A = this chain, B = another copy of it.
Amino acid sequence: MSAPPKYKGKLFLLPCPISEEDFKLVIPEEVVKKAQSFRYFAVEDLKSARRFLRRMDRTFPIDDSTFFILNKKTSVDQLEKMIEPLLNGEDLAIISEAGCPGIADPGAALVDLAHQEEIQIRPLVGPSSILLALMGSGFNGQSFTFHGYLPKERKDRVRAIKDMEFNTLKSEHTNLFMDTPFRNMNVLHDLLNELSDSTMLCIASNITGQNEKIQTKSVVEWREHAYDLGKIPTIFAIGKGQSKKINSKS
């Protein structure tokens, strides 16, 4: 038996674009360079991960690389297989279908297992629609919650929305959430019908894309200006506009 390697590999989290835009707008140059060195990958979707690697480097040696599938169906046995190259001194990168691995996307289970093996974790910089929506909302960024997907049942969804509104009114806290694009118009309908006129709502659609729209308006204004969100990736946020908080005079 050969001796174990002196060093373990590192587990990288490699973000990828969230829109049709050029990756150079959303992935830093040195991250692109780093990505070209990886030969082991844990990917949410094989086809999109390969396409991303080839977009960054037309000569990327796909055929000399190892791809593991990492999604909701992945078992612990399969995760342990992904840990093996790391224990053998090889770096491995997680790539999700869009955006940052581990944020509303697979990745966390493998990271958790890697921590148990004392493998170094290196998240890399890239686009997160949640973070970009929060930055663009004008809402409180000192205290915020991302709630993930809303409940599917209308009754539960309305309660979730109203709980967020109550929380924001009470505490200045920002509440972000999303849904699968085909349910966006149902969500919007509930927001405009169930929230108070003066509640502030941010709708951030097509983030980083050519038709990016990030707008914050009161619910009563949104009722006049709502637009078609069907099939469009969208982040919603309920919060308080932060210009109200500051002094009127210096």
Additional pairs, 10, CB under 8 Å, beyond known A109-B242, A121-B215: A13-B136, A26-B125, A29-B29, A108-B242, A112-B139, A113-B138, A115-B217, A122-B212, A142-B146, A143-B145
**What B residues does A127 contact at CB under 8 A?**
125
Cβ-closest chain B residue relative to A27: B28
Nearest Cβ on chain B to A211's Cβ, whole angstroms: 12
List 26 A-B pairs, Cβ < 8 Å.
Answer: A24-B28, A75-B248, A77-B249, A77-B250, A79-B243, A79-B246, A102-B134, A102-B136, A102-B138, A103-B135, A108-B139, A108-B242, A109-B138, A109-B245, A110-B243, A111-B136, A112-B139, A112-B241, A113-B138, A121-B214, A121-B215, A122-B214, A123-B136, A128-B131, A142-B146, A143-B147
Interface residues of A (CB under 8 A from B): 13, 22, 24-31, 73-79, 100-105, 107-116, 121-123, 125-128, 131-149, 208, 212, 214-217, 241-250
Is B108 within 8 A of A141, CB to CB?
yes
How many angstroms between the C-alpha atoms of A105 and B8 in the bound complex?
Answer: 36
**What B residues does A101 contact at CB under 8 A?**
135
**What B residues does A13 contact at CB under 8 A?**
135-136
Is B105 within 8 A of A121, CB to CB?
no
Cβ-closest chain B residue relative to A108: B242
